[in-house]
Amino acid sequence: MTGDDAPTVEATPTGSALTASTMTQAQRELAMARFAVLRPHLDDGVALTAAARHAGVPVRTAQRWLARYREAGLAGLARRSRVDRGRRRVSEQLVTLIEGMALRIPRPSAATIHRTIRAVAGKHGWPVPSYATVYAIVAGLDPALTTLAHEGTKRYEEVFDLVGRREAGAPNEIWQADHTELDIWVLTPSGTPARPWLTVIEDDHSRAAAGYAVSLEAPNSLNTALALRQAIWRKPDPGWPVCGIPAVFYTDHGSDFTSRHLEAVAADLHVQLVFSLPGKPRGRGKIERLFNTINQMCLQPLPGYAPRGIPDRAGRAQLTLAELDAAIGAFLTGDYHHRVHSETRQSPNERWTAGGFLPRMPDSLEQLDLLLLTVAKPRKIHPDGVRFHGLRYLDPTLAAYVGEQVVIRYDPRDLAEIRIFHDEQFLCRAICPELAGHCVALKDLTAARNARRREVRQGLRNRASVVDQLLAVHRPDHDHPAAGTAAAPDEPVPPRRLKLYRED
């Protein structure tokens, strides 16, 4: 044995359960400290008396350690636990009584329990336990037992139930969606401060945000549809590649997620809807972490930031909802999607694009809008276009539908254009010149108007021609000429100046 090596002899004395492999960290450290006193004697042949004197240990103590080491090895140098450890000089019936009182609702203090136990023990002639004993019994209760007794089944399940964690194996295999009220105040259009809501759709595999929506309204089906529309369709920003139709859409039991509209969308897009158990938010920790990241890393530097638990900062609101929307989008695309995730060890963009993934896409944006945009309003096409929210929307296509009833669908975040449907068929995208920044050219309107007029005139001529033919066939003098009269030879008939509708 060299001076730097730990002892390798491990013997177990008869009747002892302690071995080098079952020692605790504290027992092992104590055994190694005692062995350091014996090492000069064992390795270098130094007299045990000199080694003990050099270490400042009584000779008798060193002799006892040496005997234990030779008998049991390193385990013999550890301090043995007491045989009666964990046992109290209190009857089991009294221990059960103390524990039962500690689990009652409302929860009594240890002093209250001790006073009650003293009275009960004196009445039955039992040894009266001390306050320290009662406190130790109460403190030694199983945390699961106290949680179930004092906080209920729901809290017990959240803390102590074993949960199987769902993990997606590929991009777009599972998407999660949820809402949260942000820790920031913004200004409403009327100038009053309000806390906005954020809806996020997250790809489970890559942890990337597929889409989001910010609103001043509480969670509803519209915000969910807008976030899902952004998540599925291709983004104009090349740094945000996440798109496509997911295989599974995992949500809670919110009314917007369990609506018939979302069920119809899922059926059309071949998406499986999976809901968490009511009142049990398990499996949504990933999207909750994304919410915390946005609150702490994106919103904290912004004016009006006000996390829960601090004095109200509504008066510091400066941002509008559109400015907050732009700030969150810039954070996701410019920071979060390129930051290495601590669990996946990859950035969300890298993990989503790895392996040349080809997402499943809808046929067109118009088809997706028809499925998702639930804001549908009936309108009539007037000679000056479609009127909506005090605005006027134009498109040359509308010239052929003046006076017709149509359905408009729009994105509440962008009223510069609306989509117009006639008999459930997409007609066009009409723009509002005041919001879109450009106007429909007059020549385009004139050309569309003239084309429509020519189309209507042609329709009149076609119908008049059919009427003339039918009336000429059924005219009495055409089929049965008058008796005694001969058919007049074909002579040119001069045109009349006055037209008679019965004959012309």
Q: State pLDDT tens for residues 13-24.
A: 333 456 767 778
Q: Which residues of 429-444 are buried (b: 16+ CB within 10 A; e: fewer)?
A: ebbbeeebeeebeeee
- The pLDDT, as a whole number, for residue 43 is 85
Query: How far apart, in Å, are the Cα atoms of 187 and each of 195, 295, 328, 435?
Result: 9, 18, 16, 21
Chain centroid offset of residue 465 CA = 65
Q: Is the sign of the CA dihedral 85, 90, 94, 98 positive or negative? A: negative
Q: Span 407-425, mean pLDDT?
A: 79
Phi and psi at residue 409, in whole multiples of 5°? -125, 140
**Class of the CATH domain delimited by 174-353:** alpha beta
Tokens 């004092």, located at residue: 150
Bond into 396 cis (ω within 30): no
pLDDT of 304 over the 70 cut:
yes
Q: Span 425-441, mean pLDDT?
A: 74
Q: Span 349-370, mean pLDDT?
A: 84
Lowest mean pLDDT across 12-21, 190-199, 320-329: 12-21
Element (H, E) at 351: helix 348-353
Kindly indicate the confidence band of residue 209, based on its pLDDT and cuts at 50, 70 and 90.
very high
- The pLDDT, as a whole number, for residue 8 is 38
Per-domain boundaries in the chain: 1-81, 92-160, 174-353, 375-443
Name the pTM for this structure. Answer: 0.55
Q: 204, 173 in Cβ contact below 8 A?
A: yes
Q: 245, 360 in Cβ contact below 8 A?
A: yes
- The pLDDT, as a whole number, for residue 340 is 92
How many other β-carbons are positioned within 10 Å of the β-carbon of residue 214?
23
Q: How buried is residue 477: exposed, middle or buried, by Cβ count under 10 Å (0-12/13-18/19+)?
A: exposed
Amino acid, res. 483: A
- The pLDDT, as a whole number, for residue 83 is 59
Residue 234, CA atoms < 13 Å, CB-side half-sphere: 10
Q: How buried is residue 450: exposed, middle or buried, by Cβ count under 10 Å (0-12/13-18/19+)?
A: exposed
Kindly indicate the confidence band of residue 314, based on its pLDDT and cuts at 50, 70 and 90.
low
How many other β-carbons are positioned within 10 Å of the β-carbon of residue 14?
6
- The pLDDT, as a whole number, for residue 495 is 58
**Class of the CATH domain delimited by 92-160:** mainly alpha
Task: Quick: pLDDT tens for 462-480.
Answer: 777 767 776 776 666 555 5
Phi and psi at residue 259, in whole multiples of 5°? -70, 160
pLDDT of 6 over the 60 cut:
no
Q: Which residues of 80-116 are buried (b: 16+ CB within 10 A; e: fewer)?
A: eeeeeeeeeebeeebbebbbebbbeeeebebeebbee
Q: Which residue has the higher pLDDT, 472 or 396?
A: 396
Ramachandran category for residue 421: left, alpha or beta (phi over 0 → left; psi -120 to 50 → alpha): beta
pLDDT of 87 over the 70 cut:
no
Tokens 């102590």, located at residue: 160
